[in-house]
């Protein structure tokens, strides 16, 4: 899918979704519209962003407007270009706001194009991959700095706050998602919210963390043991690591998301933990932390070359704890490029 496909049946593309706007323009604003016509790219926003947008967007025509009259401005542009059909993001609009949009742009035929944009965004360009590589490298540096703060009595929230500090201090835009820092039995909650739980000697410490840098996300999970690892933990860690390594070795373009998921699932099942691996193997990411295509049983489509996906098998045992291991990889014809360089050992 390339940009031209978006114009096949549309004279113009109207992008309002913040992630898509960032994809098309490279800039983030809380309010704005990207309007693409065959000849010109327009960015409409308000006074708050005027000088920053003019500085950053050299290849766009910038229109400074207000919420109340932005669609009148869009209409003027479309009119002046003799536009008949406008591609719009059908997966973004709420029912009520779409009614308003239809009224505002009643002169034009509106065509849904969310699926086409999703397909474009699924295949990353070398520049996008470079941004994700940098976001991941930053995440790894942050984790190393934070590991040294682990000591008996420290709370999960203290460590999560330290991660936020490190991300920003190292140059990130922000966290890609709320950092998951889970001690002991809390690590069995896949999406645990870091709380007041204090770290004790000889227990699990799970980090699921990512930074957003230059608009692009990273995502990594590592599970450590604070103290002398028990045999039970070592065994779980070994199974999850081997399941992940097996997928990393065999996944490549053309394999379906469901097949990739099954590779890890079969391995974990053979080791007796089928029911304890209750989520999908992975997801794509980019501007958003969760994008398509996924590595899940629901995705029976072949993974395309240059999709960036996570490979994150896990085993979770209530009242004991969980182990997850997550890398972020670029899908290639003959295999993968792993953007995650962080060690897979559990010793802190």
Which stretches of the chain bind ligand GLY, using CB under 6 A?
177, 208, 219
Is 253 within 8 Å of 332 (Cβ atoms)? yes
310 near Mn ion (CB under 5 A)? yes
Shortest distance in whole angstroms from residue 61 CB to ligand GLY: 38
244 near Mn ion (CB under 5 A)? no
Shortest distance in whole angstroms from residue 298 CB to Mn ion: 16
Q: Which stretch binds Mn ion (CB under 5 A): 30-38, 78-86, 217-225, 235-243?
A: 217-225
Phi/psi region, residue 306 (left: phi>0; alpha: psi -120 to 50; beta: rest), is left
Query: Which of Mn ion, ligand GLY, none sits in contact with 296, Cβ below 5 to 8 A by type?
Result: none
Angstrom distances, CA of residue 80 to CA of 35, 76, 109, 333: 13, 6, 16, 45
Please state, in angstroms and rounded to a whole number, the distance separating the CA atoms of residues 50 and 64.
6
Options 11, 219, 259, 327; binder of Mn ion; rule CB under 5 A:
219
Please identify, using beta-carbon distances, which residue of 57 and 143 lies nearer to ligand GLY.
143
Please state, in angstroms and rounded to a whole number, the distance separating the CA atoms of residues 282 and 263.
12
Please identify, using beta-carbon distances, which residue of 140 and 219 lies nearer to ligand GLY.
219
Query: Which of ligand GLY, Mn ion, none sits in contact with 177, Cβ below 5 to 8 A by type?
Result: ligand GLY
Q: What is the distance between the terminal CA atoms of the chain, rounded to a whole angstrom?
A: 44
> What sign for the dihedral angle of Cα 206, 212, 218, 219?
positive
Please identify, using beta-carbon distances, which residue of 17 and 219 lies nearer to ligand GLY.
219
Please identify, using beta-carbon distances, which residue of 116 and 219 lies nearer to ligand GLY.
219
Shortest distance in whole angstroms from residue 213 CB to ligand GLY: 16
Shortest distance in whole angstroms from residue 219 CB to ligand GLY: 5
Shortest distance in whole angstroms from residue 166 CB to Mn ion: 19
Query: Which of ligand GLY, Mn ion, none sits in contact with 277, Cβ below 5 to 8 A by type?
Result: none
Shortest distance in whole angstroms from residue 83 CB to Mn ion: 40
| Nearest in space to 321 (alpha carbons), one of 252, 216, 195, 234 | 234
Residue 8, CB-side half-sphere exposure with 13 Å CA sphere: 8
| Nearest in space to 133 (alpha carbons), one of 297, 342, 281, 320 | 342
Please identify, using beta-carbon distances, which residue of 219 and 291 lies nearer to Mn ion.
219
Shortest distance in whole angstroms from residue 332 CB to ligand GLY: 22
Q: Which residues contact 14 (CB under 8 A, 6 or more apart)?
A: 33, 34, 35, 74, 86, 87, 88, 89, 105
**Token pair of 18, please?**
């913040």
Query: Is residue 148 helix, strand or coil?
Result: coil
Please identify, using beta-carbon distances, which residue of 221 and 271 lies nearer to ligand GLY.
221
Which residues are at the interface with Mn ion (CB under 5 A)? 219, 310
């Amino acid at each position: 899918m390339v940009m031209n496909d978006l114009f096949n049946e549309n004279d113009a593309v109207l992008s309002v979704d913040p992630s898509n706007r960032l994809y098309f323009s490279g800039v983030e604003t809380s309010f704005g519209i990207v309007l693409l016509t065959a000849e010109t790219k327009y960015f409409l926003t308000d006074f708050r962003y005027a000088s920053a947008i003019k500085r950053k967007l050299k290849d766009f025509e910038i229109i400074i407007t207000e919420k109340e009259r932005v669609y009148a401005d869009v209409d003027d542009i479309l009119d002046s270009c003799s536009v008949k059909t406008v591609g719009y993001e059908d997966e973004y609009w709420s029912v009520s706001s779409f009614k308003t949009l239809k009224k505002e742009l009643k002169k034009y035929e509106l065509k849904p194009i969310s699926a086409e944009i999703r397909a474009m965004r699924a295949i990353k360009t070398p520049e996008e991959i470079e941004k994700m590589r940098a976001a991941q490298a930053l995440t790894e540096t942050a984790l190393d700095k934070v590991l040294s703060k682990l000591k008996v009595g420290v709370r999960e929230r203290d460590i999560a706050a330290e991660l936020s500090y490190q991300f920003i201090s190292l140059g990130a835009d922000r966290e890609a998602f709320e950092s998951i820092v889970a001690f002991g039995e809390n690590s069995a909650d896949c999406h645990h919210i870091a709380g007041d739980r204090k770290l004790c000697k000889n227990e699990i410490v799970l980090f699921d963390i990512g930074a957003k840098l230059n608009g692009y996300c990273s995502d990594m999970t590592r599970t450590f043991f604070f103290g002398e690892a028990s045999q039970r933990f070592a065994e779980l860690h070994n199974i999850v690591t081997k399941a992940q390594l097996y997928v990393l070795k065999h996944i490549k373009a053309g394999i379906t998301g469901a097949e990739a998921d099954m590779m890890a699932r079969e391995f974990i099942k053979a080791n007796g933990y089928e029911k304890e691996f209750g989520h999908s193997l992975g997801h794509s990411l980019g501007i958003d932390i969760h994008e398509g295509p996924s590595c899940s049983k629901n995705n029976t489509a072949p993974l395309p070359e240059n999709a960036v996906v996570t490979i994150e098998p896990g085993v979770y045992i209530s009242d004991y704890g969980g182990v997850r291991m997550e890398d972020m990889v670029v899908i290639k014809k003959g295999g993968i490029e792993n953007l995650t360089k962080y060690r897979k050992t559990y010793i802190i």
